[in-house]
Chains A and B, each alone.
Chain A
Amino acid sequence: MAIELGLNEEQSMLKTMARDFLATETPKTFVREMMDDEVGHSPELWKKMAELGWQGLVFPEEYGGASMNFRDLTILCEEMGRAVMPGPFYSTVILVGLPILDFGSDEQKAEFLPKIANGEIVCTLAALEESGDLWADDLHFRALPRGDGYALSGTKMFVTDAKAADYMLVAARTRRTQNPEDGITLFMVNAKEWGIYMDNMTVMDLTRKQYAVRFTDVPVSASNIIGELHGGWPILQQIAFKASAVLSAEMVGVGEMAMEMTVAYLKDRMQFGVVIGTFQALKHKAADMYAAMEYSRSLMEWAAECVKENDRDAPMAVSMAKSYCGDSVKFVTDAGVQLHGGIGFTWDHDMHLYFKRGRYNDTAFGDGNYHKEVIARQLEANLM
């Protein structure tokens, strides 16, 4: 199957619709309101998105979804990045909805997917611990057998949108063997259970809230295990894989918007009696920003297509997109602040929202350096 880049007619319509909707529903006044809000989730917006079919975009129709594909989903997420949209869409759909669709039992899919699709519930993933890395050896959080089920104890960190969540997909250690990747199990846990304590983390990117979540003997039924007992690690890897493609799409939206804002400013701002875009030092930086975003888009589209087609290049493509988009979004938003001068350093200007959202997306599931190491190993293996 040949990989095709660019958008078809239906996808262009989806993109336009998303851009229009977000322009109306999530203007910067709304984004800033959510930044100041402790939970950062608007149930009204959530409901409206569900009416458009966004949460269930890639779910089959039998689960209340729209049966669209992964590439379509990345188009939506790109627009969300462009709008620096706050709220738990990423946490719910990408981090929990997709793994339930891919690994859940028929009963679990029937239980959770329609509720996600119709906007009834918010979910999130609780996987990381003290190291902040998705690394099997760092996963100590315990699930001990109790009665017919398990009891969860430990602290999860960097849990996005936990206060808005109705359910958390929790990665816990159910046994410890020589192989740290063995003995990890994923549980779907009611976030309102007794014994769950949430502590706000004071984060840089306020459009995506994060929490340290402490569990003390929280009971969970064995029927809420997603995938196999002790077999959660490959699922976590699959979550990281798809989330990386989605985060790359968001970064394309974030970076392109930061670039467009900057180019508009260069055409408007006067100094020394001329618009500053006349100066080559600034022009050349703008040209480099443009190139960085064009290549980011190219890699992201390639990666998203590979994921959609289940192409054998998909792991390499996703790591390349994640690394390059992360490096680019950091470069472009940094240049965005710099080229705006003093106004770009203020809280009131929107550039820092893009700068910070870019940083979140770059860090999550491995930054550029991490993915370059993954790529280097893969390249070496391909040589053998």
Chain B
Amino acid sequence: MVSSEPEKLEALREEVRAFLRENLPQKWGTPAYEPLEAGSEEQIALSKSFTKKLYDAGYTAFGIPAAYGGIERPPQEIAVIREELRRQGTPFPFVGLGRLVVDTLLQWGTEEQKKRFIPPILRGEVYWIEGFSEPNAGSDLAGVQTTAVRDGDEWIINGQKCWTSGWDYGEWGFFLCRTDVNAPRHRNLSFFLFDCSTPGFSRRPLRQMTGEAHAQYGELFFDDMRVPHENMIGEEGRGWYVAMTTLIAERGGGQVSAASGETGGMGLGLFGARTIGGVDSLIELAKKTKHYGQTAWDDSSFRGRIAQIAIENEAMRAYGMRLGKMIMSGSASGNEASMAKLTWTEQGKRRGDMVCEIIGAYSQLMRGDSRAVDGGDLVYGMLMTRGTTIFMGTSEICRNILAERILGLPRQ
């Protein structure tokens, strides 16, 4: 320890603060800030440019080897940077699902693949999409039917994927498909990366229960789409295991999340809706909404439930600190991420329901009605939470994972 170290860290802290003042959107962190619609053009453009700025400033890409564009800093500096980013509620700096690709490649990619794909992701240059779920393979992901047949140095892909978020912005994607129709389950799949401009690839929107015209999710179609063999990640027939790494990362348990202090799926959504909301807005809503002569905040049942959400937020944050430490020290299996995912999504539903109870009769009004509370965003948010407990592994699948892979209970 040199004596100038504390001053150096303080200088770094000031530098990060100045950077954030300059680069976060106006009104960020105040009630007046209006989040951009997730998946909108503006949100994606802002996400890309902000990711690049953060990377150029050296505030991201920790825990990734420098050879692949990672940034190495002493742990004390990383701690200061994280603390300052967190203080401003800075969004998780990745575009689309790129961070999942980073985690997957770090574990399974060849040297060449890592050098080719990781750096542009860190710089926020490519929007990545996922092709896992299919109409007949949801929770039973290993039952995917999309096929790949080898033809020289290429694979010919046929099939359909669904529930792809950011479907229309995808520039690159990854998917899981069958490469061997005779091999046993879990040994018959391979994992590929593909360029969305490849002929034979098409996409269309999937309208969801929230009803908006611009669909957040879409369907992908592969019609004799050709993918070069060099885009296969991991060995042929071992795609299931590669996909497990991707899913763990998606649920917030990957190395990238751990290194940036965002374990537990809290950091999804860049300048879009925040996944975990604080309780301040809930309290304000409860204080200004009256029913039967008293405000909702004066109703002890609401106060208790709002306090419970505050408690759970801190519990998830504290657990994230522990999980991050476990991932970095290698004592986590990765399955812990299923717990975090289960918790924040189930909590989101309860929160959404409570908001609707607070606004009472107005919980019937959707976006587009001038009388709707908050322009209908609250009710829209409540409906959206219904998707969260299904995507990325349903709550039931998450519980199976915890019970079987962590507690060691037998499979059926």
* A277 to B410 alpha-carbon distance, docked (Å): 6
Per-residue contact bits, chain B 243-275, to A (CB 8 Å; 1 contact, 0 not): 000000000000000000000000000000000
Per-residue contact bits, chain B 94-109, to A (CB 8 Å; 1 contact, 0 not): 0000000000000000
A45 interfacial contact with B, CB 8 Å: no
Closest to A371 in B: B307
Q: Given A372-B308, A376-B303, check contact A280 B283 (CB 8 Å).
A: no
Are A383 and B311 interface neighbours, CB within 8 A?
A: no
* A58 to B288 alpha-carbon distance, docked (Å): 47
> Which residues of chain A come closer than 8 Å to B111, judged between CB atoms?
none
Are A298 and B311 interface neighbours, CB within 8 A?
A: no
Are A301 and B399 interface neighbours, CB within 8 A?
A: no
> Which residues of chain B come closer than 8 Å to A375, judged between CB atoms?
307, 310-311
Closest to A283 in B: B403
> Which residues of chain A come closer than 8 Å to B315, judged between CB atoms?
295-296, 298-299, 320, 324
* A275 to B408 alpha-carbon distance, docked (Å): 12
> Which residues of chain A come closer than 8 Å to B411, judged between CB atoms?
278
Out of A3, A290, A376, which one reaches B407, CB within 8 Å? A290
A184 interfacial contact with B, CB 8 Å: no
User: What does DSSP make chain A's interface, helix, strand, loop or mixed?
Assistant: helix
> Which residues of chain A come closer than 8 Å to B83, judged between CB atoms?
2
* A337 to B22 alpha-carbon distance, docked (Å): 57
User: What does DSSP make chain B's interface, helix, strand, loop or mixed?
Assistant: helix
Are B279 and A379 interface neighbours, CB within 8 A?
A: yes
Out of B79, B283, B311, B318, which one reaches A2, CB within 8 Å? B79
* A376 to B396 alpha-carbon distance, docked (Å): 32
Are A379 and B310 interface neighbours, CB within 8 A?
A: yes
Out of B283, B321, B402, which one reaches A380, CB within 8 Å? B283
Q: Given A372-B304, A372-B307, A376-B306, check contact A383 B283 (CB 8 Å).
A: yes
Per-residue contact bits, chain A 356-373, to B (CB 8 Å; 1 contact, 0 not): 000000000000010111
* A286 to B406 alpha-carbon distance, docked (Å): 11
Are B307 and A283 interface neighbours, CB within 8 A?
A: no
A291 interfacial contact with B, CB 8 Å: yes
Are A287 and B308 interface neighbours, CB within 8 A?
A: no
Per-residue contact bits, chain B 393-412, to A (CB 8 Å; 1 contact, 0 not): 00010111011101111111
Are B410 and A267 interface neighbours, CB within 8 A?
A: yes
* A383 to B282 alpha-carbon distance, docked (Å): 11
Are B400 and A324 interface neighbours, CB within 8 A?
A: no
Are A291 and B409 interface neighbours, CB within 8 A?
A: no
Are B322 and A376 interface neighbours, CB within 8 A?
A: no
A206 interfacial contact with B, CB 8 Å: no
- Give chain A nearest CB distance to B324 CB in angstroms: 9
> Which residues of chain A come closer than 8 Å to B318, judged between CB atoms?
5, 295, 298-299, 301-302
Are B325 and A280 interface neighbours, CB within 8 A?
A: no
A294 interfacial contact with B, CB 8 Å: yes
* A132 to B357 alpha-carbon distance, docked (Å): 34
Closest to A289 in B: B407
> Which residues of chain A come closer than 8 Å to B314, judged between CB atoms?
299, 302, 316-317, 320
Per-residue contact bits, chain B 311-323, to A (CB 8 Å; 1 contact, 0 not): 1101110110110
- B residues 357-406 near A (Cβ < 8 Å) are 396, 398-400, 402-404, 406
* A123 to B265 alpha-carbon distance, docked (Å): 47
* A367 to B404 alpha-carbon distance, docked (Å): 33
Are B321 and A5 interface neighbours, CB within 8 A?
A: yes
Interface residues contributed by chain A, number (CB under 8 Å)? 41
Are B303 and A373 interface neighbours, CB within 8 A?
A: yes
Per-residue contact bits, chain A 253-294, to B (CB 8 Å; 1 contact, 0 not): 000000000010011000000110110100110111011001
A147 interfacial contact with B, CB 8 Å: no
Which of B314, B321, B412 gathers most chain A CB within 10 Å? B314
Out of A3, A263, A295, which one reaches B343, CB within 8 Å? A295
A323 interfacial contact with B, CB 8 Å: yes
Are B304 and A287 interface neighbours, CB within 8 A?
A: no
A342 interfacial contact with B, CB 8 Å: no
Are A320 and B311 interface neighbours, CB within 8 A?
A: yes
> Which residues of chain A come closer than 8 Å to B399, judged between CB atoms?
283-284, 287-288
Are A278 and B412 interface neighbours, CB within 8 A?
A: yes
Are A287 and B300 interface neighbours, CB within 8 A?
A: no
B280 interfacial contact with A, CB 8 Å: yes
Out of B306, B398, B402, which one reaches A379, CB within 8 Å? B306
Q: Footprint of A on B, CB under 8 Å? A: 79, 83, 279-280, 283-284, 297, 300, 303-304, 306-308, 310-312, 314-316, 318-319, 321-322, 325, 336, 339, 342-343, 396, 398-400, 402-404, 406-412
30 residue pairs of the A-B complex, CB under 8 angstroms, read A2-B79, A5-B322, A6-B325, A263-B408, A266-B409, A267-B408, A267-B409, A277-B410, A278-B410, A283-B400, A286-B407, A287-B342, A287-B398, A287-B407, A291-B343, A301-B322, A320-B315, A323-B307, A323-B308, A324-B315, A372-B311, A373-B307, A376-B306, A379-B280, A379-B306, A379-B307, A379-B310, A380-B297, A383-B280, A383-B284
**Nearest 8 pairs of A and B residues by beta carbon:** A298-B318, A283-B403, A372-B307, A287-B399, A287-B402, A295-B315, A277-B409, A298-B319
Q: Footprint of B on A, CB under 8 Å? A: 2-3, 5-6, 263, 266-267, 274-275, 277-278, 280, 283-284, 286-288, 290-291, 294-299, 301-302, 316-317, 320, 323-324, 369, 371-373, 375-376, 379-380, 383
